[in-house]
Amino acid sequence: MDKNLNENQDKKRHVRHPDWRLISSFGYVFGLLFLIIGIYVYLYYKTTWIGQLGLAFQPYQNYAIPILIIGIALLIIGFIAENRDRKKIKSVKNNNRQQT
């Protein structure tokens, strides 16, 4: 009975933590995407012609700052999730070394 219990505990320790990796990947991908979109929205301008005079205005610049903040927050979430995954993998490796 004890042998089966120990084997099940060993199996649990060997499980990689794909949830943290998935969260980290989403954080990095969507964070970078939001940063690119935010920069594009901030720099986008539209020119209208009124008579001989061309006027340029930036219609979406009000949305740029919140998009950039969301992008930075997602990158931070990705970084934190990646560090958690690394800590869990290190703790599993350390526990396996101590048991052998």
**Tens digits of per-residue pLDDT, 24-79?**
899 999 999 999 999 999 988 877 777 667 677 788 888 999 999 999 999 999 99
Name which of 83, 64, 66, 79 is nearest 26 in CA terms. Answer: 79
**Which residue segment(s) compose the domain that 34 sits in?**
20-95
Q: Is residue 44 assigned to a domain?
A: yes
pTM recorded for the entire structure = 0.66
39: Cβ contacts below 8 Å, ≥ 6 apart: 64, 68
Q: Is residue 57 assigned to a domain?
A: yes
Per-residue pLDDT at 57: 79
Q: Is residue 58 assigned to a domain?
A: yes
Per-residue pLDDT at 95: 66
Number of domains in the chain: 1
Q: Is residue 2 assigned to a domain?
A: no
Q: Is residue 55 assigned to a domain?
A: yes
Q: Is residue 11 assigned to a domain?
A: no
Q: Is residue 24 assigned to a domain?
A: yes
Q: Is residue 81 assigned to a domain?
A: yes
